Amino acid sequence: MSENILALLAAKGINYKAMEGGDKGVPQITSAMVAGACAGLDRIPYLLVRIKYSGDFSVINELAELICRRNDYQSTQARHLMRAAIYEVVSDNICNFCNGTGITRRTKCKSCDGTGHKPRQ
């Protein structure tokens, strides 16, 4: 079952009819399903998956601290930058028009100005 739940995180090409739920459409991923599927992972990847796929941002400080400790980054600034980097990794900021490529119809995407990211508000 864990393999099926983790497969939902990258849902391209999955046969949903063969999974629990049958013809009821795309199954919903719950926080409990993600947490259960990730049991046994090292703490850092577990926390990253928990933030990205469960939306549990309550553990971001712990994750930033663990990464900083592992890399011997001791300053407060390093922890702040690590949190910003984690937000960048887990946020859905890919341009909807070019799908993150920066190019539409062989020209620079006008929506994101060729960056591949959603424009900042």
| Residue 68: per-residue pLDDT | 95
Domain boundaries, the chain: 94-121
Rounded distance between C-alpha atoms, residue 61 and residue 107, angstroms: 40
The 10s digit of each residue's pLDDT in 57-89 is 899 999 999 999 999 999 999 999 999 899 888
- Selected residue with higher pLDDT from 105 and 13: 105
Per-residue pLDDT tens over the stretch 10-46: 544 445 555 555 555 556 667 677 777 777 889 999 8
Radius of gyration of the chain (CA): 18
Report the candidate in 2, 33, 32, 27 with the shortest Cα–Cα distance to residue 15: 27
Of 33 and 48, which is predicted with more confidence? 48
pLDDT computed for residue 50 by the predictor: 83
Report the pLDDT value the prediction gives residue 10, as an integer from 0 to 100. 55
Whole-number pLDDT of residue 12: 46
Characterise 23 by phi-psi region: left (phi > 0), alpha (psi -120 to 50), beta (else). alpha
Section 92-105 average pLDDT: 84
